[in-house]
Amino acid sequence: MAASTNGFAGKPSMQGIVPHGEVEVSCVGDPDPVVNYVLDIKDIDDAVRTILLPPLAAAAANSPQPPVADVLRASLAPFRDRLHGRVESVTIRLTPTHSITMTTASPHRVLLRQQFDFAAAHRLHTPMLSDEENRRRYGKCNNPRGHGHNYRFEPCVEVPLDDAHVPLSLRDLESACKRAIIDRFDHTHLNEDTVEFNLDRGGVIPTIENISRVLFDLLQRDLASSAPHARLVSMTAWETDRTSATYPA
């Protein structure tokens, strides 16, 4: 069988309808003085295929399926040892917008990420500048009637893996984001309809930098009551597919 020439596909190439995911490995270390590799990519690929993928495939075939984090935790130590201790983290990307990350430094905690979206309008205008200067600084974003975006946001939540806490599931995170963010902002004019971005009501200008910070604060407040064992690490918000901000930086 001819080797696959599609660099964005699995090897061998899929046939029919099959589960599809990605494994992302982050390694650290000094490059070898002779070949100047930290690790040979072929060694990383072989370790993924022989140590990480078999238990993940077996788990996917089981019913009920065990948590992905538990499967990853059981494989992390031998995977790290196979690659000479240079593995910093492993991410299992279950869908293009949902991933689970475990670091070798904290194998009893995982980072849960999922993207969400809402549609809203906003206007960039500050009373600290003249109308002319606002138009010069913000351009079309200073349109007096505002303009709209399909905003995306991605919380990164650290969750403990121990018997003392009920794990935070993706469904739990979805519910928290709906309560704290989507129900509040979806199909609104941020400047006019929300306290958070109305300057006359003590809000801030809805730049993507401020939006990422406000979303972080709102979700952090919700998780403090709904999932106090979970820790919100960061919030990334996208205004377009080319413009985003992450808080904390």
* Domain 113-247, second-level architecture: 2-Layer Sandwich (3.30)
Name the residue among 156, 158, 171 with its Cα closest to residue 108: 158
Tokens at 67, concatenated: 């948590």
Chain-centre distance for alpha carbon 50? 27
Give the pTM: 0.89
- pLDDT for the residue numbered 163: 67
Domain span(s) for CATH 3.30.479.10 in the chain: 22-107, 113-247
Note the pLDDT of residue 87. Answer: 97
Q: pLDDT tens digits, the chain, 249 residues: what are they?
A: 566 677 676 677 777 777 778 999 999 999 999 999 999 999 999 999 999 999 999 998 888 888 899 999 999 999 999 999 999 999 999 999 999 999 999 999 999 999 999 999 999 999 999 999 999 999 999 999 999 999 999 999 999 988 666 678 999 999 999 999 999 999 999 999 999 999 999 999 999 999 999 999 999 999 999 999 999 999 999 999 999 999 998
Q: What is residue 4's predicted lDDT score, i.e. its pLDDT? A: 66
What CATH number should be reported for the domain whose range is 22-107?
Answer: 3.30.479.10
Residue type, 178: K
- CA 60 to CA 188: how far, in whole Å? 40
Residue 230 to residue 167: CA distance in whole angstroms:
9
Active site residues: 141, 187, 239
